[in-house]
Amino acid sequence: MKKETTIEELRDWWLEEYYNTNSKEVVNNHPKEAKSPDWFKLYPVTQEQHDAWEKWAKERLRKEGVKSGWGFAYLDSAPYVENQKV
């Protein structure tokens, strides 16, 4: 039986790729912030990094045959994109 990708795995991809950390370390290092979605702001990414993650995540879920639920998975796992200052 094939294991389905978890929200934690979706989060960990960009945390490991861009910050060399993971969800468990975030909870251990920032217990107060980890209780709300505000912890995402501690690990901002660029739009390009976000887009690379989104492409990877959609492809991974597509290969698993996930046809719906992307919206919820995105809201629970997408990185925070820091606005570029002009």
Q: One digit per residue, pLDDT tens: the chain, 86 residues? A: 567 889 999 999 999 999 999 999 999 999 999 999 889 999 999 999 999 999 999 999 888 877 778 889 999 999 999 986 65
Are residues 7 and 77 in contact, defined by beta-carbon separation less than 8 angstroms?
yes
DSSP 21: -
What's the pLDDT score for residue 32? 94
Question: What was the pLDDT predicted at 65?
Answer: 77
**Distances, alpha carbon 59 to alpha carbons 52, 54, 64, 77, in Å:** 11, 8, 9, 15
Quick one: CA dihedral 70, 54, 4, 6, positive or negative?
negative
**0.85 exceeded by pTM:** yes
Using the structure block, give the residue that is written with the tokens 């045959």.
65
- The predicted structure's pLDDT at residue 85: 64
pLDDT for residue 4? 83
